[in-house]
C-alpha cells in the first residue's frame, strides 16, 4: 500500500467475488442504487485484520493437542510492527504444551466492542506458525506482550512461561453476514491498522445524533439512492462512510468515499465535513 492519497473513484481493492449464500428464492434482496455511482474504496481484508488486531488484546488460540485434535483456548497478545502476535503461554496449560510440540496455530479475534449481534460484528482469523523469538527480537516481543498485559512483568518471570511469535500466513476477515475476504502474509504485513479506528465509534454516534440530514443527502446524491427517506451511518474508516439507507423499495447498504484517504488519527471530522459539503453541492 502506498502512502499517497488515491483516486476515490478508482476500482476498490476488494478480492474477487466469493460464492454467495444459497438463499431461498422467496427472500427479498436489497434494492440497488437508482443511478450508477463509482465504486467507493474500502479497507482490504488485510487492513481490516491489522485494524482489529491493533484494537484488541484477547484472542482465542487454536492449537493441536497430542492426539491431533484441535484445542481452543483464550490468550492475550501484543502486536509486533509487522502484525505478528507476541504470545506468552505456560507449559502448565494445554495450549503451551501444544505449541512446544507443533507450531501450527490460528487465532480468532473479536473486538471487545462487538455489537448486540455477534454474527454481524467484524472478526478475523489469522493462521500461521509460532516460533520462539531469537536474540534479535526477544526484547521487542517481550515489550509488545508486556505493553498489552502488564501482569506479564510478574508472571513472565515464572519458569513455566515462554514467549512465542505467531507469524501470520493466512488472513480471513468476516465483516458481518455475507461480508468477508481473505489476504495472504505479504498483504497482511504491508497493511496498516486504520489510524481513525479509535475515534470511529464516537464519530458515528455524533453523525447519527446530529447530522441525519447530511447522511440522507449523501445517500441521495453520492450513493445513488435518490429515493432514500432516511440514512444512518453504520461505519466510518479512513476511506469513507458506510450508510444504512431506507427507501420505499426496502433497506440497503452503501459506501460513500472521502476525497482522499485519511492518514491522521484525528482526520475523520474534516473528511466527513468535506463529504457533507460535496453531497450538498451535488444535490443543489
- Residues lying near a copy of itself in the complex (CB under 8 A): 18-24, 27, 57-65, 68-74, 76, 90, 92, 94, 104-108, 110, 117-119, 123, 125, 127, 149, 151, 154-155, 157-161, 172, 174, 177
- Give 186-251 as a DSSP string: HHHHH----TTHHHHHHHHHHHHHH-HHHHHHHHHHTSS-TT-SEEEEEEEETTEEEEEEEETTEE
Q: How far is the CB of 4 from a copy of itself (least distance, A)?
A: 35
Q: Where are the alpha helices (DSSP H) in the chain?
A: 45-54, 94-101, 138-148, 152-155, 185-190, 197-210, 212-221, 268-283
Q: How far is the CB of 129 from a copy of itself (least distance, A)?
A: 9
Q: How far is the CB of 245 from a copy of itself (least distance, A)?
A: 20
Euclidean distance between CA atoms 255 and 33, whole angstroms: 11
Q: How far is the CB of 92 from a copy of itself (least distance, A)?
A: 6
Q: Would you say 121 and 114 are in contact if contact means Cβ atoms under 8 Å apart?
A: yes
Q: Would you say 246 and 229 are in contact if contact means Cβ atoms under 8 Å apart?
A: yes
Please give the backbone phi and psi of residue 206, each rounded to the nearest 5 degrees, phi first.
-65, -45
Minimum CB distance to a copy of itself smaller for 62 or for 79: 62
Minimum CB distance to a copy of itself smaller for 23 or for 282: 23
Minimum CB distance to a copy of itself smaller for 119 or for 209: 119
Q: How far is the CB of 124 from a copy of itself (least distance, A)?
A: 9
Minimum CB distance to a copy of itself smaller for 6 or for 161: 161
Minimum CB distance to a copy of itself smaller for 4 or for 150: 150
Amino acid at each position: 500500500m502506498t502512502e499517497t492519497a488515491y483516486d476515490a473513484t478508482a476500482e476498490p481493492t476488494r478480492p474477487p467475488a466469493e460464492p454467495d449464500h444459497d438463499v431461498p428464492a422467496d427472500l427479498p434482496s436489497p434494492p440497488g442504487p437508482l443511478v450508477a455511482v463509482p465504486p467507493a474504496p474500502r479497507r482490504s481484508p488485510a487492513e481490516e485484520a491489522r485494524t482489529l488486531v491493533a484494537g484488541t488484546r484477547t484472542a482465542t488460540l487454536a492449537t493441536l493437542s497430542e492426539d491431533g485434535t484441535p484445542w481452543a483456548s483464550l490468550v492475550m497478545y501484543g502486536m509486533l510492527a509487522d502484525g505478528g502476535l507476541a504470545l506468552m503461554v505456560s507449559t502448565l496449560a494445554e495450549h503451551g504444551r501444544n505449541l512446544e510440540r507443533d507450531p501450527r496455530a490460528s487465532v480468532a479475534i473479536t473486538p471487545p466492542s462487538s455489537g448486540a449481534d455477534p454474527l454481524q460484528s467484524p472478526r478475523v482469523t489469522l493462521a500461521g506458525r509460532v516460533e520462539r523469538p531469537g536474540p534479535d527480537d526477544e526484547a521487542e516481543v517481550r515489550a509488545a506482550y508486556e505493553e498489552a498485559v502488564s501482569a506479564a512483568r510478574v508472571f513472565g518471570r515464572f519458569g513455566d512461561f515462554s514467549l512465542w511469535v505467531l507469524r501470520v500466513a493466512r488472513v480471513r476477515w468476516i465483516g458481518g453476514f455475507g461480508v468477508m475476504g481473505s489476504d495472504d502474509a505479504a498483504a497482511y504485513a504491508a497493511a496498516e491498522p486504520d489510524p481513525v479506528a479509535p475515534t470511529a465509534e464516537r464519530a458515528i454516534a455524533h453523525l447519527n445524533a446530529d447530522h441525519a440530514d447530511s447522511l440522507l443527502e449523501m445517500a441521495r446524491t453520492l450513493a445513488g439512492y435518490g429515493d432514500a427517506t432516511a440514512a444512518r451511518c453504520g461505519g466510518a474508516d479512513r476511506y469513507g462512510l458506510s450508510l444504512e439507507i431506507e427507501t420505499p423499495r426496502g433497506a440497503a447498504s452503501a459506501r460513500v468515499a472521502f476525497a482522499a484517504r485519511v492518514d491522521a488519527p484525528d482526520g475523520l471530522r474534516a473528511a466527513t465535513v468535506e463529504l457533507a459539503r460535496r453531497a450538498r453541492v451535488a444535490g443543489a
